[in-house]
Amino acid sequence: MLDIHSTRAPREHNVQGLERAGSLAGGALMFTKGMRHGGLIGLLQMVAGGLAVARGVSGHCSTKAWWQRHRQEYHRLRSDIERSAAELQALRASAAAATDGVTVTGKDPLPGS
């Protein structure tokens, strides 16, 4: 039952359009297939179909929300790595320019020279 006095924020709709219609149609189809099949396999089909119908009716999928959050984190980490790689290339170029023309002989300079 819907509690209009709930302080919990409503969940956003992350299933829309054709995806939502597909969940409704596919879930209904799987649910009826499970009813006709019977047994444990039929029960599992009914559960999966019911979950798909619920996803379509509510317009929200917790699994999809979880994947979207982690995908954003992946993209953030990827951009951090790319930025660090660019900084490393700049440091490498700077080090190469600073040592260009310098010869290391391994001998200490003589005092007073």
The verdict on 78 and 55 lying in the same domain is no
Task: For residue 65, give both structure tokens.
Answer: 């929300």
Of 53, 50, 64, nearest to 15 by C-alpha is: 64
Higher confidence at residue 88 or residue 13?
Answer: 88
The verdict on 66 and 55 lying in the same domain is no
Say whether pLDDT at 2 is over 90.
no
Q: Does 103 map to a domain?
A: no
The verdict on 56 and 22 lying in the same domain is yes
For residue 10, the model assigns a pLDDT of: 54
pTM: 0.53
Q: What are the tens digits of pLDDT across the range 39-71?
A: 999 999 999 999 999 999 998 988 888 888 888
Q: Does 9 map to a domain?
A: no
To the nearest whole number, what is the mean pLDDT of the chain?
85
- In the chain, the number of structural domains is 2
The verdict on 54 and 40 lying in the same domain is yes
Q: What backbone torsions phi and psi does residue 86 show, to the nearest 5 degrees?
A: -65, -40
Q: Which domain holds residue 54?
A: 14-60
For residue 6, the model assigns a pLDDT of: 47
Q: Does 42 map to a domain?
A: yes
For residue 1, the model assigns a pLDDT of: 44
Residue labelled with tokens 């597909």: 22
Residue labelled with tokens 């599992």: 44
Q: What are the tens digits of pLDDT across the range 12-41?
A: 888 889 999 999 999 999 999 999 998 999
